[in-house]
Chains A and B, each alone.
Chain A
Amino acid sequence: MGKTPAPNSKQPPTQPQYNRKSKRRIQFRRILLICLASVFLGGCWDNHELESLAFITVIGIDKGKHNNLKITYQFFTPATESPKHSGVHKPLVTTFQAPSFGVAENIANVSSDRMITSQQLKVTIISESFAKKNDVARVLEGMVRSRSYRRDILLVTSLDDASDTIRANLSKLGSTSLDFIENMRNQHTFTGFLPVETLNDFLIANESGDTLAFTGLVALNKQSSSGESTNQSENRIAGQFPIKNGDDPLQYIGAEIYRGDRAAGRLTGQETRIVLLLQRKIGTFLMELPDIHHSDRRNTLLLRQIIGPRIRAHLDHGQLHFIIHVPLDATLDSTTAEINYVQDTKQRRLLERVFDQKLQHETVKLLHRCQKEFRGDPIGLYPAIKWRFLTEKSWRQFNYTKHFNKARFIVQYEIEITNFGKQRAPFGAQ
């Protein structure tokens, strides 16, 4: 006879009880694992609260003392927090001397409790005086190496000290100083006055050796008299426009050409437009010329680039020839000539040819200036001939810059007026 187990003695667990226990154990382990993973994968070492960071939005580079860089930081300050100066929100700007960008962040922290970060940096302004005497590409190399700098930072050259330029940037129309520059960047396709050249574009042009790098140009509005003598308002650079009581004391127009890492010369607003036209980077722009019949009357066209320019190149006994054809669509924006350009096709064609010839003349003049003054191609015409070279070795042996500086150009613009605005006939037409 076997013994019956006592009613209060321990029963061996049945199979379902085992399963339940082991399931609970597995669940517990999984939850523990998830908790541990969330602790470790949270990246506690790199944790930064938003309140503990200071975001740099604009950097200025000037020549400092003792082989240092004079670096100016403009910090992002919310509009509600920034101090007001004559009713305008004044951003926080600080200037100091540092040997490099990396060290600059540490030095800036001497007087700032927040950790300096360049993650939101949008613009770098280099003073022209610094760019003429120093190797800009090598200075900027420090930017691309650091993890916190992006390659899409807008590069601008300032005719004045970068620190003065940054401090002067105070829009009266309510834009923060950063918004002002961003708005200028975004509206370049409507004026063609300012090239949007990023750090990436600059380094690509510089390292390729085929083209010359360039940046936009900015200067303080000094109401200089030098620009007033020129007939064409576009043939000026930043700082030469006599604007009284404008929105911002800064003027963004023109470009600075760099050769061999250093500033080599300036392009006027009109020359910048031509460069952008040939690069197919322009949207629309207004151009005005005196009327062919009455020199005191004016015609203004709104030119629109719909199709890119057709650039062909060929070698003739070692001589490089470029044939450039630029089609443009136009709208008659305003006219005081009292000629019915809508219905008089012959007059319309004449008007188109006048604008064609003016742009052709200016383009050829610019190309010759590039050959003689800059000794290189800032436009980037090289693809027209580079496609013929199949290997890098043969392209290097060709020496494009040498050929470009002796090249001949045939430039042809083809403007077609397709729109006449809201007015069918001119005022006072019979």
Chain B
Amino acid sequence: MIKDGHISSMQLIAIMLIIIIGKGLDSAILILIHWGHSAPELLMLVGEIGIVTIVALQLPLFKDPNKNLIDLLIDTFGGVMGSLFGFSLFTSLLLDLAMNVYYDIEQIRVVFLPTTPPNLVLFLSIVAMIIPAYYGIEVLGRTNLIMFALMMVVILSLIAISFTLINIDYMPPLLGPGIPQLLKQGVLHSGFFGEYLVYLMLRPYVRSYRSFRNSFYIIAGISILFGAIGLVIIQLVFPYPIDDHLFFPFIELAKLIYFGRFIQHIEAVYAVTWLAVTFARLSLLLYVLSLMAASVARTPHFRRFAPSIGAMIYYGALLPPTLSDAIDFKDIMLEKRGFPFYGGIAILFLIVGYLKKWRNKPNGGQNPSAEQQAAPDAATVQP
């Protein structure tokens, strides 16, 4: 078990919502728009409900407050297979984070720093991710509570202001590419919400299982609601295929806000807030990657992994030659091809985990295991 303090359920909700909703503010959202056409919100619903269901079914396996996802994988599948599965999840999350960093660096380039060398921006971003990860979960929890409030103010105000820009007639055709296509692509793109795995890594930092479980449903509900509203608003301002042709729909949306001659360029406020929320999100993901690496290596010193993971993200983010390639890599490699693999791990863990739980119940299995038989004897010999 890696000890790093405790966070409240509110802080946990804030952390997870920053990770999941924050994703909608960068170019990753184009994957949903590209495959969902004029119904990206339905594609999102199919994909997110799928992964939420898998994680919700896994929650009862996390009653032990000392074990995170990797610990339980090792417990369930044994040292070798558990570590291998844990390492696979670590690799996929690492590549996902590298792509997220690339999207955000590109957005910084376009919005703020067009002539600053991107490698320098990338390096500084990695440093800005590593430093908060060093401070640990309690500092991250408190900071992200403030960041979450900031993010919600920005998102809610953007939703309110965008009502002057939306055209409800851009909504149809309501089913976009059709139900079969939405279902197929929704299942294939469940990996878009792979960040829900982060939630299972944070179990040891929440005191009670009940608040851990309840927080999950709140997180899932809010992120589905805001995700759907966000996608519908984008569709109603930039109808398909216009939104599919943009790289940064969120910034373009903010740029359209016009309050007359005296209040202009409101997007500057949104862009700065986006920057703050983005770094909060990226540092949280780096922190979780450090936890995963330490859990696989069975060491409590997770902080020592942060700089080397930061370096891996740096090089990973240098790999895609263009933003379009980075989006395609995430779409095809990490989601369409990768998800059956690590989604398979999640389902296998679910099946084996429940089987083991059932067998370990006093009356669950037909014959009590050797450990169970030995346990009462051990208790009797103890003074």
Chain A residues in the interface with B (C-beta under 8 A): 33, 37, 40-41, 43-46, 119, 147, 150-152, 179, 182, 186, 200, 203-204, 207-208, 380, 382-383, 386-387, 389-395
Contact = CB atoms under 8 A, between A and B. Distances in A.
A391 B176 contact: yes
Interface stretch (B6-14, B109-117, B289-297): B109-117
- 10 nearest A-B pairs in the assembled complex, by CB-CB distance: A383-B169, A45-B116, A391-B178, A390-B175, A386-B172, A46-B113, A45-B115, A387-B172, A43-B113, A147-B110
Contacts of A393: 177-178
Interface of B: 37-38, 110-117, 120, 124, 128, 131, 169, 171-178, 238-242, 245, 252, 255-256, 258, 260-261, 265
Nearest to A183: B261
Given A208-B239, A395-B172, 13 more contacts: A37-B124, A43-B113, A45-B113, A46-B112, A182-B261, A200-B238, A203-B242, A383-B169, A390-B175, A391-B175, A392-B177, A392-B240, A393-B178
A107 to B, nearest CB: 20
B127 to A, nearest CB: 8
Contacts of B114: 46, 147
A151 B128 CA distance: 32
Contacts of B173: 386, 389-392, 394-395
Mostly, the A contact residues are helix
Contacts of B260: 186
Nearest to B256: A152
A179 B262 CA distance: 11
Contacts of B261: 179, 182
Nearest to B260: A186
A392 B177 CA distance: 6
Looking at chain B's contact residues, is the secondary structure mostly helix, strand, loop, or mixed? loop
A43 B174 contact: no
A41 B239 CA distance: 36
A110 B189 CA distance: 51
Contacts of B124: 37, 40-41
A289 to B, nearest CB: 32
B242 A204 contact: yes
A248 B296 CA distance: 75
A203 B239 CA distance: 11
Contacts of A37: 124, 128
Contacts of A382: 169
Contacts of B112: 43, 46
Given A46-B114, A392-B37, A151 B176 contact: no
Given A390-B174, A391-B176, A40 B120 contact: yes
B115 A46 contact: yes
Nearest to A387: B172
Contacts of B242: 203-204, 207-208
Nearest to A207: B242
